[in-house]
Amino acid sequence: MPLVPMKQILDEAAKKGYGVPHFNVNNMEQAQAIMRSADAVSSPVIMAASRGALKYTDLVFIKHLMLACIEKYPKLPVSMHLDHGNNLDSVKTAISLGFTSVMLDGSLKEDGKTPTTFEENVSVTRSAVEYAHKFGVTVEGELGTLGGIEDGVGSGQVHVTDPGQVKEFLERTGVDALAVAIGTSHGAYKFKIKPDPDKNLLAMDIIRKIHALAPNLHMVMHGSSSVPQELLQIINKYGGKIPPTYGVPLWAIKEGIAAGVRKVNVDTDLRLASTGAIRKVLFENPEKFDPRDYLGPARDAMAAVVKERFEAFGSAGHAFDYAPTTLEEMKKFY
């Protein structure tokens, strides 16, 4: 089965009111962890590569990791997504490699740090849409900016999405999905205190307002790793020094999904799971030197997190609800 456009995965999620996690991939172990868990719970898959991942892993290796996933699990609907493309060239490169979805992050300039104006965002995002849709490829945009920095992306500033700009942005760009800023952030260091509904650390009302104004929009929550405390404890127990930090709780993500969020980006949680497993093996077995001895447990730890997210966001059990759409068929739609 070919890779499917991400739009189909999100459209189907919207029909039944669930969310689909997006997992970043940098190497074989991450890819295997994601696909094994998806197969175990029958979930559609959104696997993403950031610009940092493309640089680290190499374009050709990423392409063949993606093809290996499809060959190994031919029945699962999988979308390969470019995360935080910063210009039209990055979008063109991803599409040439066979990606079925791209994000053009027009909220930041090409340096990945400097916020743009609304008009600049509209212009660069529209250019990506016009190019990608010719190939049947899904496009995600971003309105507002998140805090934190990860993979070199992030302004360090938070500009919450203005619901009043959403409708105009959608009409002028034609994006298929929109990342919204509600107080989440990239990286592990999101909140110094544990979020709860009364502390207003997350502007969940923004999601509800946007959904009321654009009920058919597929919203995306970036920076939505939950930073499980047990993973931090494992890392620190075996020599790590991560200070107290909290992520986006599952209750908040579920609240977002109920109000129209269809894609939830998770990256840090896999990094934490992997690091904890590796530290534990090497601490308890200092004589070990075979990478398989610690990368195998790291893969298992990531797979456990992936499975939990498929189940928590509601995508588990929905992989075979629909016949897959090809990019050729999506060209006709656009």
Give per-residue pLDDT as tens, 196-252.
665 666 788 899 999 999 999 999 998 888 899 999 999 999 999 999 998 888 999
Q: Which residues of 138-156 are buried (b: 16+ CB within 10 A; e: fewer)?
A: bbbbbbbbbbbbbbebbbe
Highest mean pLDDT among 39-53, 56-70, 125-139: 125-139
Q: Which CATH class is domain 6-180+189-333?
A: alpha beta
**Domain ranges (residues) in the chain:** 6-180+189-333
How many Å apart are CA 307 and CA 295, to the nearest integer?
A: 18
Cβ proximity of 298 and 218 under 8 Å: no
**154: Cβ–Cβ under 8 A, 6 or more apart, which residues?**
112, 113, 145, 146, 147, 148, 185, 186, 187
**Cβ neighbourhood burial of 198 (10 Å; 0-12, 13-18, 19+):** exposed
**52: Cβ–Cβ under 8 A, 6 or more apart, which residues?**
26, 151, 152, 153
- Residues catalogued as catalytic: 83
Q: Taking 70 as the threshold, does the pLDDT of residue 188 lie above it?
A: no
Q: pLDDT exceeding 70 applies to what percent of the chain?
A: 91
How many Å apart are CA 186 and CA 267, to the nearest integer?
A: 9
Angle, CA 222 vertex, CA 270 and CA 314 arms, to 5°: 70
Which pLDDT score, from 0 to 100, does residue 142 have?
94
Which pLDDT score, from 0 to 100, does residue 214 have?
95
Cβ proximity of 126 and 174 under 8 Å: yes
Cβ proximity of 138 and 184 under 8 Å: no
Q: Taking 50 as the threshold, does the pLDDT of residue 155 lie above it?
A: no
- Encode pLDDT of 269-299 as tens digits: 999 999 999 999 999 999 999 999 999 999 9
Lowest model confidence (mean pLDDT) among 53-62, 125-134, 224-233:
53-62
Helix (H, G, I), strand (E, B) or coil at 93: helix
